[in-house]
Amino acid sequence: MNNSNNKRETFSSGLAVFFATLGSAVGLGNIWKFPYMVGENGGGAFVLIYFICILLVGMPIMISEFYIGRSTRKNAVGAFEALKAKPFWKTIGYMGVLSSLFIMFFYSSVAGWVYSYVFKALKGDFLPLASMSMEDAALNASSQYDAAVSGSISPFVWQFIAVTVVSIILIAGVKNGIEKITKTLLPLLFALVIICCIRALTLEGAKQGLSFLFLPDFSKLSASAVLSALGLAFFKLSLGMGTMTTYGSYFTNDNNLFATSARVALSDTLVSLLAGIAIFPVVFTFGMEPGMGPGLLFKTIPLVFSKIPLGNVLLVAFFILTSIAATTAMLSLVEVPVAFFIEEKQMSRNKAVLLSSGLILIIGLLTVHPKSVFGNVVIAGKGFFDLFDYLSSNIMLPIGGLLITIFVGYVANKDQLSYELSNHKTLNNDGMIKFYISILKYITPALLVIVFLNSIGIINF
């Protein structure tokens, strides 16, 4: 055991565990990705499939990752060694470190757009929308978005700023950095999203927006939509790549892993639905296209607040809080390679953070912007931005998740599993543990394999 392990930090309380873990789950996925994916995939039916994925795939995998992390108190790679697993299983950890970098390449770029929107709202760039007709306001918001993401300098600068903020918090450590920031800021995020919903629900298109979000229309559901819902569940709950293993390794010993996973999954889904309730009424009120893709958030939210008193103040607040959500999620993404470098490569925390952020910035800045050196490269019909997103969410996280399921369901020692899940009280499987193990052994992997084979065209349903 190396000495970095002696100084290993943990979160200080159950509440801190909840907020940090929720801080990882809640992020751009809820406010940016969830609404536009619901829009692209036909609304309510997609939401329903997403719920099923959360319950039958997401939660069992989250509990498994907590178990791997907390029982070993190690990073995503070292944990498998500590469990005395065959070297093959360490692949899950290595793939996790890689996935976290892949996600950060594009995620930090979108976080940069969000940061830049705080600045734009502060400068009053959206104030003129107030006196425009609805169509003109929608057009103006669209062109401001295009200018913000495809400019030749500002997207680079904002991505750099986003990664720098994350690095500073991570250097402060688990308790003084991650825990403090998430505990202070997440409750504020909730409050602000609720205010946005209230405003959106008073718009003309509220009814249409809500029907779109909640009424399932299965004719619009394709096989690729089912894979996307599964990928989104992984992305949303930060699963399949060692993030929850790493955070689990900082949990307190008395934390109930089942309860934490249920609380986090439910609260996270609530935030996604609230974001949908804030966004879709605007889409229908302003005659926008729900399936417009990644620009959806940036083109709608400025409109939500454009015609109400103090709208610009609320707009600033909304983008500040979206920046917070993006930042707390990035903390957990970057903590995966950081914990790996500290414990497996014996680096200091500062060095590990600098190395991880450096890799993210160099590769991210060179690839994901349309104006960058490799910005025009297209592989398998996708630019780098979409490629990193597709490879991580739809391929690497589900494969990581499947391997974790097989490892915990079939390979791991069940006495030890029960001991950990019961908070060190029993070696016997009680009802809840038995139920979880049977879902993990039979249902979760079956669903993963079916959806996966279907998406690559080997079977059709």
Q: Would you count residue 23 as binding ligand PFF (CB under 6 A)?
A: no
Phi, psi of 379 (to 5 degrees): -120, 130
Minimum gap (Å) between residue 367 Cβ and ligand PFF? 19
Minimum gap (Å) between residue 314 Cβ and ligand PFF? 22
How many angstroms separate the CA atoms of 312 and 131, rounded? 13
In sequence order, what DSSP letters do the residues of 202-225 get, joined into one string? Answer: TSTTHHHHHHHHHS--GGG--HHH
Phi, psi of 382 (to 5 degrees): -125, 140
Q: Which is nearer to ligand PFF, 210 or 333 (CB)?
A: 333
Q: Would you count residue 58 as binding ligand PFF (CB under 6 A)?
A: no
Q: Would you count residue 322 as binding ligand PFF (CB under 6 A)?
A: no
Give the up-direction half-sphere exposure of residue 345: CA atoms within 13 A in the CB hemisphere. 14
Minimum gap (Å) between residue 438 Cβ and ligand PFF? 27
Q: Which is nearer to ligand PFF, 174 or 437 (CB)?
A: 174
Kindly state the DSSP code that residue 4 receives in the 8-state scheme: G
Q: Would you count residue 241 as binding ligand PFF (CB under 6 A)?
A: yes
- In the complex, residue closest to ligand PFF by CB: 29
Closest among 357, 344, 374, 280 to 76, alpha carbons compared: 344
Q: Which is nearer to ligand PFF, 178 or 329 (CB)?
A: 329
Considering only residues 69 through 128, tell me which ones interact with ligand PFF, judged by CB under 6 A: 100, 103
Q: Would you count residue 333 as binding ligand PFF (CB under 6 A)?
A: yes
| CA 47, chain centre distance (Å) | 16
Q: Mark residues 349-368: x for contact with ligand PFF by CB under 6 A, - for none.
A: --------------------
Query: CB of 278 within 8 A of CB of 295?
Result: no
Minimum gap (Å) between residue 3 Cβ and ligand PFF? 27
Q: Would you count residue 24 as binding ligand PFF (CB under 6 A)?
A: yes
Q: Mark residues 243-262: x for contact with ligand PFF by CB under 6 A, - for none.
A: x-------------------
Distances (CA, A) of 419 to 63, 64, 433: 14, 13, 10
For 459, other C-beta atoms within 10 Å of its C-beta total 12
SS3 of 426, please?
A: coil
**Among 236, 299, 349, 369, which residue interacts with ligand PFF (rule: CB under 6 A)?**
236
